[in-house]
């Protein structure tokens, strides 16, 4: 979220280049496009004054310049001179400049930076507004029941197919919001939409009080409350996704929500749900998975949990924000089918969970910035998904006053550049409304959406006051040091253990059984010399790695290292423990490991947000090697110790080829980013207190080039680079399957200390006791397009269970443990879909010899493709097959759908 200094300077420069599109006072409603050049600080004399106030200094962290390799693309000093006419469509404006660029959906291969990207924006004209139509589907008991955020549907690890109906809750919230907005004047409504400016409030984002509305505190992060103390440092998003356990996903969201609320935060800036298209991308660890289904389910449960606690969730970063390099100066060029079938899905699930807010991202989509992109904001999000909440900008991602027309509802933090004292909105939005450039009805809609989110979560009733200052944490008068941790450490420890993925285990290596002697090797085994919070925003790699770096972090209240936890266990077992924490003295490490019963080598790989550079990595990883001399360290230890066990705390996939086949490397655990209980979590797995059940939420390749997608580099300070998503639908395991590339460890893979068998597969049409949508369902079954109307992509008939798949899982080993059965659908040949697509998963705990029945549901949406010409979800012609198994390449049962 945090804006880099380089972009702050760029934004300030661009403010002079294209001004703020200030209109001529009293411009007629039918005026033609205008090209004005008015300084950012000036305003028409007739404009009403807003109460907007900003500091005069920029306070943004510095960042080193990025890589300079690659093709240099088009240089821009402002928006394209081509203006797009506005027309009324779907209850909103529709700008042709923001329409998607058609790219081949079946293309594959590496990304190249050889396509010119131009910057398209809106022209100053007069824009009308009519409200979006609100879908009003019929409630269906047991399928589409009414729920309120404070009492969401119960969690089910199998995923029942139930779709909660939050429409009544939104109706109540909207009625209250509309009543309040009706009492406000233009300036007051503008102030509800415009942040007070960087460092001009106690939270990272602030909306000022207006009348009876007390304002809003917006605060990071997706893994805990940032910039304050006495909070829990939860496992990262990628970690909870690796559990494949919906209960843990929901509880993590709930506990994080409780802590945000306890600190007085109204809007928790998460979850993050970008998809990790590029394995090296710096912020992948904040999100969940490369797979849209797994990511969507984790986002859904997280939103439900957060909002059950009474805090507003914020789905981010919308959309296609898939690398850190030049994130403010890159256009992600994505075809319509790929957008719908991959990148939009987690946001769709968040809308179904009733998410109150969405954050638009820094990048451009098809040559239009995300925060003024009519197609993605109005057409897709508010129209097709029927989103009733509000859209906020990422910090400094707003590019013009007319972003209000394109669908932006809230400017964060309010300034053009952090601390600049200027704003696209505030006084300028007031002027645009008063001279009819922007309809007051649209301003009413913006304020209503924001207030509706506040009312939806019941924040108008007995909500705690903000008790901290994110910018002045040591100022006694501003920080009450409220302890909101509760016993949340217990869940942190459980998730850390449940997410650990056992990738290799030579018989007898794990679990450890009272070894007489243990040596721990590697700095990741111990504590950081400067403490767990010694690096600002965790921007460094020392000691055990429990989260990445950037705005998606929180302060550790403490951090348990593996060395701490294993020494505690060794005391119980009577074991001898030694350690060697110097990564670079491999001779010393080999000497230290000689003669011990077991050598535990702890390694890691870090990444984060691009405003911080760590060891030359500007957010994104330069490669996929493990850090701190890890490969050499592991090989040195393995050369002298025949029982070398590797534990990797990693932000994502890393290449393990130099040593994975070494017979002296007897086991490998992928421990992700486990949060403050890191050491206890891994000790639980190593010693068998927890049977590992984590599964990879991405593919670990043999070579970086195997992924088929990579960072797009190049350009200079004035360049917008183009990132063509020419791989289309074929990302991660879908690409590996399509191209028949053998990975080192496939998506969904993970071992256990026991064995599981599958049997008795049955596939049925789901029982349906109503014919409410029978015409649409029959139309779909014939492969015909269905109406493209508001809310069409979240229609209940599309998402209700259409088929049930049941089978049995048995624990055939000698140890109790959880299995993660996975359902994959194989679309008909000629559909253009990847060979296998995840469509279900569960977490099933079984005692030795125990058998349980597992049931998955599959919807019509799950069996549809996005048809671009008709703009609807369509059933492809042909036979649909399915497989149930233990990973994306380990299928145990197979069948077909009775279509």
Helix 562-573 vs helix 678-686: angle between axes, to the nearest 10 degrees? 40
Spatial separation of the C-alpha atoms in residues 409 and 389, rounded to whole Å: 9
Residue 17, Cα to own-chain centre: how many angstroms?
Answer: 33
Spatial separation of the C-alpha atoms in residues 796 and 431, rounded to whole Å: 42
Helix (H) or strand (E) holding 307: helix 292-308
Beta strands in 186-310 (DSSP E): 205-207, 216-219, 267-268
Which of 674, 673, 675, 630 lies closest to 652 in space, CA to CA? 673
Taking CA atoms, 224 is separated from 69, 221, 233, 554, 556, in Å, by 36, 5, 6, 6, 10
**DSSP letters along 143-198, please?**
TB-B-BTTBPPPP-TT------B-HHHHHHHHHHHHHHHTT--HHHHHHHHB---T
Spatial separation of the C-alpha atoms in residues 351 and 314, rounded to whole Å: 10
Which of 758, 854, 853 lies closest to 812 in space, CA to CA? 758
Which of 507, 494, 45 lies closest to 240 in space, CA to CA? 494
The 3-state DSSP composition of the chain as helix, strand, coil percent (nearest 5) reads 25, 20, 55
Residue 650 near residue 678 (C-beta atoms within 8 A): no
Residue 716 falls in the annotated catalytic set: no
Catalytic residue among 227, 394, 564, 843: 394
**Angle, vertex CA 641, rays to CA 640 and CA 642, nearest 5:** 120
Residue 248: phi and psi, rounded to 5, are -65, -35
Spatial separation of the C-alpha atoms in residues 730 and 709, rounded to whole Å: 10
**Angle, vertex CA 843, rays to CA 838 and CA 849, nearest 5:** 120
Taking CA atoms, 382 is separated from 132, 170, 355, 374, in Å, by 7, 14, 12, 10
Token output for 558:
């403490």
Contacts of 585 (CB under 8 A, 6+ apart): none
Peptide bond into 511 cis (omega under 30): yes
C-alpha dihedral sign at 300, 302, 308, 313: negative
Which of 881, 882, 880, 863 lies closest to 822 in space, CA to CA? 882
Beta strands in 249-407 (DSSP E): 267-268, 312-318, 330-333, 357-360, 364-365, 368-369, 390-393
- Give the residue numbers marked as catalytic: 394
């Amino acid at each position: 979220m945090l804006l880099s200094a380089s972009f702050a300077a760029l934004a300030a420069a661009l403010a002079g280049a294209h001004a703020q599109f200030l209109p001529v006072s009293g411009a007629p409603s039918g005026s033609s496009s205008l090209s004005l050049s008015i300084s950012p600080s000036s305003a028409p004399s007739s404009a009403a004054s807003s109460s907007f106030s900003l500091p005069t200094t920029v306070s943004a962290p510095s960042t080193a310049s990025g890589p300079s390799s690659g093709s240099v693309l088009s240089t821009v000093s402002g928006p394209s001179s081509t203006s797009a006419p506005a027309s009324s469509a779907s209850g909103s404006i529709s700008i042709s400049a923001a329409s998607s660029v058609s790219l081949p959906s079946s293309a594959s291969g590496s990304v190249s930076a050889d396509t010119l990207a131009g910057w398209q924006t809106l022209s100053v004209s007069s824009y009308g507004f009519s409200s979006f139509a609100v879908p009003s589907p019929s409630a269906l008991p047991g399928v589409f029941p009414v729920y309120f955020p404070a009492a969401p549907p119960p969690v089910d690890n199998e995923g029942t197919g139930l779709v909660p109906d939050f429409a009544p809750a939104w109706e109540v919230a909207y009625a209250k919001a509309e009543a309040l907005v009706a009492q406000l004047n233009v300036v007051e409504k503008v102030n509800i939409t415009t942040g007070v400016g960087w460092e001009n409030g106690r939270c990272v984002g602030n909306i000022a009080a207006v009348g009876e509305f007390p304002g809003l505190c917006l605060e990071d992060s997706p893994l805990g409350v940032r910039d304050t103390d006495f909070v829990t440092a939860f496992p990262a998003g990628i970690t909870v996704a690796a559990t494949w356990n919906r209960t843990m996903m929901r509880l993590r969201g709930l506990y994080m929500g409780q802590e945000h609320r306890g600190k007085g935060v109204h809007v928790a800036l998460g979850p993050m749900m970008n998809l990790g298209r590029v394995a090296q991308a710096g912020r992948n660890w904040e999100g969940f998975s490369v797979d849209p289904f797994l990511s969507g389910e984790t986002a859904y449960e997280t939103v439900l949990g957060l909002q059950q606690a009474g805090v507003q969730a914020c789905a981010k970063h919308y959309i296609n924000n898939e690398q850190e390099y030049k994130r403010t100066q890159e256009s992600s060029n994505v075809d319509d089918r790929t957008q719908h079938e991959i990148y939009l899905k987690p946001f769709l699930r968040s809308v179904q969970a009733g998410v109150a807010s969405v954050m638009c991202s820094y990048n451009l989509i098809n040559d239009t910035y995300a925060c003024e992109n009519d197609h993605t904001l109005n057409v897709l999000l508010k129209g097709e998904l029927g989103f009733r909440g509000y859209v906020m900008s990422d910090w400094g991602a707003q590019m013009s006053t007319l972003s209000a027309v394109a669908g932006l509802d809230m400017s964060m933090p309010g300034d053009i550049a952090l601390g600049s004292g200027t704003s696209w909105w505030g006084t300028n939005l007031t002027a645009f409304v008063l001279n009819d450039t922007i309809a007051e009805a649209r301003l009413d809609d913006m304020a209503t959406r924001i207030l509706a989110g506040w009312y939806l979560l019941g924040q108008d009733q007995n909500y705690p006051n903000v008790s901290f200052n994110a910018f002045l944490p040591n100022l006694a008068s501003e920080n009450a040091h409220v302890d909101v941790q509760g016993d949340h450490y217990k869940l942190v420890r459980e998730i850390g253990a449940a997410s650990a993925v056992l990738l290799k285990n030579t018989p007898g290596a794990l679990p450890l059984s009272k070894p007489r002697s243990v040596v721990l090797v590697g700095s990741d085994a111990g504590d950081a010399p400067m403490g767990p919070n010694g690096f600002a925003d965790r921007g460094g790699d020392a000691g055990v790695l429990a989260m990445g770096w950037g705005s998606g972090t929180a302060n550790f209240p403490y951090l348990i290292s593996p060395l701490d936890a294993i020494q505690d266990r060794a005391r119980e077992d009577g074991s001898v423990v030694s350690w060697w924490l110097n990564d670079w003295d491999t001779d010393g490490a080999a000497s230290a490991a000689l003669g011990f019963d077991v050598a535990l080598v702890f390694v890691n790989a870090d990444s984060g947000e691009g405003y911080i550079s760590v060891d030359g990595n500007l957010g994104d990883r330069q490669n996929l090697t493990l850090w701190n001399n890890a490969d050499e360290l592991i090989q040195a230890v393995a050369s002298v110790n025949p029982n070398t066990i590797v534990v990797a705390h990693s932000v994502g996939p890393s290449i393990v080829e130099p040593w994975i086949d070494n017979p002296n490397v007897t086991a490998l655990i992928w421990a992700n980013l486990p949060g403050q209980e890191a050491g206890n979590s891994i000790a639980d797995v190593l010693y068998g207190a927890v049977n590992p059940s984590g599964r990879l939420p991405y593919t670990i390749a043999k070579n970086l080039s195997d992924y088929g997608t990579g960072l797009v580099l190049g350009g200079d300070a004035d360049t917008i680079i183009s990132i063509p998503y020419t791989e289309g639908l074929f990302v991660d395991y879908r690409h590996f399957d399509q191209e028949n590339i053998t990975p080192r460890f496939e998506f969904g893979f993970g071992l256990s200390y026991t064995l599981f068998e599958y049997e008795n597969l049955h596939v049925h049409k789901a029982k349906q006791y109503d014919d409410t949508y029978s015409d649409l369902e029959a139309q779909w079954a014939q492969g015909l397009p269905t109406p493209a109307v508001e809310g069409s992509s979240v229609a209940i008939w599309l998402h209700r269970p259409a088929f049930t798949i049941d089978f049995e899982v048995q624990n055939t080993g000698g140890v109790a443990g959880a299995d993660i059965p996975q359902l994959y659908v194989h679309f008909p040949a000629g559909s253009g879909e990847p060979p296998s697509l995840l469509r279900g998963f569960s977490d099933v705990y079984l005692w030795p010899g125990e058998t349980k029945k597992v049931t998955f549901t599959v919807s019509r949406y799950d069996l549809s493709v996005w048809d671009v010409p008709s703009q609807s979800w369509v059933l492809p012609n042909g036979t649909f097959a399915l497989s149930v198994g233990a990973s994306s390449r380990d299928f145990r049962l197979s069948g077909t759908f009775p279509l």
